[in-house]
Structure 1
Amino acid sequence: MLRLLKRHFYINHIYILNSAELYDPPTGTWRMTGCTNEPRIYHTASVLKNGKVLVSGSMTNTAELYDPLTGTWTYTGQLHGIRWWHTASVLADGKVLVAGGVNAGDYLNSVELYDPATEIWTIVAPMSIPRILHTATVLRDGKVLVSGGDGSYSPVGSAELYDPVRNIWTNTGGTNGTRIGHTATMLPDGKVLTAGGYGGIAELYDPSTKTWTMTGTMNNSRISHVASLLNNGKVLVAGGEPDEGVINTAELYDPSTRVWTTTGSMNHDRSWFTASVLEDGKVLVAGGLNNGYFSNMETAELYDP
């Protein structure tokens, strides 16, 4: 697992980072690797089919590639505009679709496509509305489902599909409520579970019918949490922020029963952190915030299903 840690640049009470670390599951240890060329915040990181990692966005239009064989970062093609709080999705053909985000207060509906073969970004069809803090999920048919988010200072409940073959967006069934800062998890049956986002409500999107159905309520309302598909098919949801504060609680969603049950809590309250499912099935959570925007976390912990 690759993560940014080192404090490098300070703005508005937030440390912006440019260093990176690698986690070794067999030894449970972290080691430093090469630093990014620029400090970044609210960016995305995508594992490409060639094994490299594409990092894009933040308060810059630059993008970088991490090579795990050399432990180094190199600049790649620049985006056509600055964006952060966007999404990045690796498509079936290996290209990366970047959608939405914000630039200096301007909410974006623009979309770009990165081609690893040429290292060039191409502007493609825009979404129907601007979105930040939304989700983007690559479906089995290769289309990308985008749902929820903040559309110009107002949470939205709409969803749309991007067809990379035809380069068009089409509206799909609307969700049963507005969501921002939620999670979207592809289940083994191809349906998409969305959870949280200023509430504890969860829904399932069925690509075959293009409809959303309610699927139980979580035990905690959450925003800025994480969701991980476990090897047993269940979904682990952890951390985040309810109406106030930050929480450490976790719960499991069982697709076979559509029931949420509580599970062991994390050792620390966390929001805005990462979660990675390891090869042995355990889940590594790292970093985040535990007291609003003023308390960065440097700890990591493992969840054993």
Structure 2
Amino acid sequence: MVLLGWLATGNMNDARSDHTASVLRNGKVLVTGGFNYSLYLNSAELYDPSTGTWTMTGYMNHSRTVHTESVLLDGKVLVTGGYDGISYLNSVELYDPSTETWTTIDSMNNARYVHTASVLQNGKVLITGGYDGSLYLNSAELYDPSTGLWTVTGSMNLERYSHKASILTNGYVLIAGGWDGYSFLNTSELYDPSTGTWTTTGSMNNARYVHTASVLPNGKVLITGGYDGSLYLNSSELYDPSTGLWTATSSMNSARSEHTTSILTNGDVLATGGFINISLSTSELY
């Protein structure tokens, strides 16, 4: 019999929150940046699942928290934007796992914080929304790894911050929820990479912010939890790309915001942790 549960593994070298983590092609996990309630970090480290240990790797050129981290098709890692304790950032850098070094590359057109980054099927990276220190953004831009350049693409219909982006099986990108500086949003929109344009699609049943989005094996998108401006949510809903509609599905046992969801190899979805005026250690399966 296999017992399911959590096992302690090695501790990171630096305590950090609001950092990013990515699984590299070699199976190691790259963690970058974050905040330790004293310093904004530019450190990075690697977790080796075969040994359960962490080792420091090259330091980023800039400290950053609430940035994005994307593994490109060539295995390099693109880090964009964030906040360094003084400024909202438009700077961008690339990590090369073969040399464990960082290279600063062309900056984004906008500084961004709590934005999204999605690696498209053509290898380009779509960046959407966020906050630049004065404005909530509806702008979007594309990074092309073949040229190293950024180009502006169509703007979203609404400004969004702390929204979620999901790449659908047809290559479109679904954006759902967030905050526009005035309201918590239930609206959704779709990006067509072939035209660089956005179209409005069905709205969620609940406005949500700091929620999660997971593309299921059947192609539907599962949205869980979040905050609607007055309540922490335990509700969940499904987006069907074939109809453009949202339907309610079973609620989580606990309300959760700022949590994570992960698709397991058997197709189940694991929801972990989060915040509802207290930090949560609980987990549950969908």
- Asked if Structure 1 and Structure 2 have the same fold, meaning a TM-score greater than 0.5 normalized by the shorter chain, the answer is yes
Q: Any unmatched runs of 5+ in structure 1?
A: 1-25
How high is the sequence identity, in percent, across the aligned residues? 55
Structure-2 separation of matches of 1:190 and 1:276: 20
Give the corresponding residue for 2:112: 131
Aligned pairs (5 A) from 1:272-283: 272-283=258-269
Give the corresponding residue for 1:77: 58
Counterpart residue type for residue 280 of structure 2 = M
Structure-2 separation of matches of 1:111 and 1:61: 13
Give the corresponding residue for 2:10: 34
State whether structure 2 residue 13 is matched by structure 1 residue 64: no
CA RMSD of aligned residues (A): 0.8
Structure-1 separation of matches of 2:70 and 2:96: 12
State whether structure 2 residue 189 is matched by structure 1 residue 203: yes
Q: 1:17-62 CA deviation, whole Å, 9 max, x = no partner?
A: xxxxxxxxx5321100000001001000000000000000112110
Aligned pairs (5 A) from 1:82-231: 82-198=63-179, 199-231=185-217
Give the corresponding residue for 1:14: none
- 1:89·1:98 contact (CA, 8 Å) conserved in 2? yes
Per-residue deviation, 1:105: 3.4
Q: Any unmatched runs of 5+ in structure 2?
A: 35-39, 180-184
Structure-1 separation of matches of 2:98 and 2:80: 20
Runs of 4+ in structure 1 over 4 Å off: none
Per-residue deviation, 1:151: 1.4
Using structure 1 for the length normalisation, give the TM-score. 0.89
Counterpart residue type for residue 44 of structure 1 = T
Aligned pairs (5 A) from 1:236-275: 236-275=222-261
Counterpart residue type for residue 103 of structure 2 = T
In the alignment, which of 27, 30, 39 is matched to residue 51 of structure 1?
Answer: 27
- 1:134·1:150 contact (CA, 8 Å) conserved in 2? yes
Give the corresponding residue for 2:271: 285
Structure-1 separation of matches of 2:110 and 2:140: 10
Q: Secondary structure at the match of 1:123?
A: strand
Using structure 2 for the length normalisation, give the TM-score. 0.95
Structure-2 separation of matches of 1:178 and 1:146: 13
